[in-house]
Chains A and B, each alone.
Chain A
């Protein structure tokens, strides 16, 4: 007697989601590998070195964790938006807002150690949250699609902070655009000295866990789920959608703001123009691979962190371009959205092979001639 394993709906759903993500990741890596080999490098060698570099050495591991930290937060931010059915395209601007405010609090408001860091972080998060709330306001009050306002706000914030760091807030004698260095009391502790790994990592992981808990166990999470799945039913059920959209987008922006604050307080110790190179948008592939699940974001961020860190390390000793990781990330978004894109061609080929085999088999049956 063979016992059939009874899987609950929840387990089945989880396995299916895991399958989708894995398939998307593998395919994306594969295509990335193909592109790399077109550039003249060995596919397998590249990936082996990448993962060896990022996870095999302590230096690589540190870089992996450090790289994963900001995108874990922006990925979480994106997931928060998706829960209520909103594509938050404004994460980049929210990150910049957080970075600038954290830099200012850190540099101009003296506070005792520890408290200073906390206040600066919260202020940065709040700045990002404010931008998110603004997007929500535009949506509710003016009916402006958040997809578009997010993009617009990105540019506005980025140019404005660029202006601030180029003109009024630029310290005397500084060469590049930046703000005054933050006080020591505001610094985020570096877990490993002289590295980019700071306690921001713990904050990021903590945030993911808290958001997961909020989604699954609280009444706000329930309401967000309803809004995301059926906004009209949410209205009829007495759920205040405006309130929830604002809450979700503010939280979303808060996470991105935290990411920016972490970068400033932990690594750069000041606001610089290049504080982020698309980290806000990188949140999208991170969240997508995780199935927009807050806990999954932890794993997804670590994975992408490993990929990026590894390719940076590999790039130092060879000429392999690290940009292809961005391509892999973009491909993940494409494939996670429609796993059928991968399986359909596969099925098609299988079907063709089967048809071929069938016709071959038929033609092999001997014909009786005459008699």
Chain B
């Protein structure tokens, strides 16, 4: 008998069917990988199991007994714990406080017994070698450490069923390996684990079984990862063969057109986040930065697009020095595809038409004598819609009505429809499915092939390796390696990303 069985789960949101008649099962002691593209419904299914959402139709059984969860507490009581992709932590609280909130040990019924709490948390930290300080405030921990606190929350609650949502999204390959060691240890102690992921390599390395969801439907429920290849699993996920490894190296690289020297950025605590980096990008070249989030990528983006004023920077484009604010940078022909399209790139409540001109609203074709030329703006918008295949019947509709992929198309259309000299693309395919990803990548290749420069920053190592003509590895605010993307394996790149020197890595290879 299965430990967990979910039958006929259906969940609808206004406008979309997230899950349709999905059957799910988990055997005791197994590690299951729940595969699917973004938006396939994996997280929704698990949120239902965890009690954060309620299904419209379908039943849930635990050990053969039907259950109904109305909130996470019910699930926790049954030993089900979820480690979320976006950490559910309070930065201002300590590790202990975050772990015990909601389930605090008490003395005299209502008073928190801090001592007991800390002792138990420390004990768990030691048992699993998590290497963090129970008293530390979350805001002082690294991303990998914060994830361990999330897992601690589950361990503290004696979870026998652990659900991890995209656990490796923010980890280096080495940290992922460490995580898997922990998971195997948990498995050996009887914990059953579900890993939600769209990463195929990890599925192959850790999971006993894989289930595939595609657009809210269950397509395969007992795939043996050890018998499949990445290509095969990928095909299962999208239904067609995707070749994510095919690179398109530049055919023609010219002279240096964009150059940054001695970039130093300090944060508001006075800590140096970028310690004097320099790089050049040539005509017809994509320069990619690899690195774990938090090592200075955001700072590079902000400095290069004029969003912050660095401590020091010498930036030239085609020989001309560039300074000033975001406005100045945009006007110089630096096209910016921001990290987070919904908070930085688009205005949700505004029409698609108005979003097409965001950032360029002062330009002559948009605005004359301070008056908006709405007729011309509409025509421009229609053009963009066609050229970039934005799926919408009406560009007067709010941009929030578009899917993630189409929204990103709006952002790209806005930038690429105008003469740009440099494209600064930050996590350009975050949250997009493989199809949209392919489209965006091709747009970037096409732009580069016009003899322009592209600065690419992405947390997806695969993406950086695939797109870049030249690769730089960023670690703790310094460039620790500059290479051809094919020079190192992913694992070696991961080592570089965590601070190992190039010599060490090369030495290990030979």
Contacts and interface: CB of A to CB of B under 8 A. Distances in A.
Judge A-B direct contact (beta carbons within 8 Å): yes
Interface stretch (B59-67, B153-161, B339-347, B456-464): B339-347
Interface in B350-384: 350-351, 354, 358-359, 361-362, 366-367, 370-372
B327 A236 contact: no
Contacts of B354: 222, 225
Interface stretch (A20-28, A66-74, A227-235): A227-235
Contacts of A222: 354, 361, 372
Given A9-B396, A238-B327, A240-B327, A230 B371 contact: no
Contact of B345 (A221, A225, A233, A239): A233
Contacts of A217: 371-372
Interface string A138-151: 00000000000000
Interface residues of A, number: 22
Interface string A110-132: 00000000000000000000000
Interface residues of B, number: 34
A9 to B, nearest CB: 5
Contacts of A235: 307, 326
Interface string A190-231: 000000000000000000000000000111111101100110
Given A219-B361, A222-B354, A236 B344 contact: yes
A226 B326 contact: no
B108 to A, nearest CB: 39
B359 A236 contact: yes
Contacts of A237: 326, 330, 358-359, 361
B357 to A, nearest CB: 8
A10 interface: yes
Nearest to B374: A217
A230 B370 contact: no
A371 to B, nearest CB: 38
Interface string A229-259: 1101101111110000000000000000000
Contacts of B371: 217-219
A242 B205 CA distance: 52
B397 interface: yes
B347 A229 contact: yes
A8 interface: yes
Contacts of A240: 325, 327
Interface in B300-334: 305-307, 325-331
B338 interface: yes
B362 A219 contact: yes
B326 A233 contact: no
B389 interface: no
Contacts of A233: 343-347, 358
A229 B370 contact: no
A10 B371 CA distance: 20
B326 to A, nearest CB: 4
Contacts of A220: 370
Given A9-B396, A219-B370, A225-B350, A236 B307 contact: yes
A8 B338 CA distance: 32
User: B329, B330, B372: which has the most chain A beta carbons within 10 Å?
Assistant: B372
Interface in A1-20: 8-10
Nearest to B359: A237
B442 interface: no
Contact of A229 (B336, B350, B394): B350
Given A218-B371, A219-B370, A236 B348 contact: no
B347 A230 contact: yes
B330 A9 contact: no
A226 B358 contact: yes
B123 to A, nearest CB: 42
A235 B361 CA distance: 13
Contacts of A10: 396
Given A232-B343, A233-B346, A235-B326, 11 more contacts: A217-B372, A219-B367, A219-B370, A225-B347, A225-B350, A225-B354, A229-B349, A237-B326, A237-B358, A238-B306, A238-B325
26 contacts: A9-B351, A10-B396, A218-B370, A218-B371, A218-B372, A219-B366, A220-B370, A222-B354, A222-B361, A222-B372, A230-B343, A230-B348, A232-B344, A233-B346, A233-B358, A235-B307, A236-B336, A237-B330, A238-B306, A238-B325, A238-B326, A238-B327, A238-B328, A238-B330, A238-B359, A240-B327
Interface of B: 305-307, 325-331, 336, 338, 343-351, 354, 358-359, 361-362, 366-367, 370-372, 394, 396-397
Interface of A: 8-10, 217-223, 225-226, 229-230, 232-233, 235-240
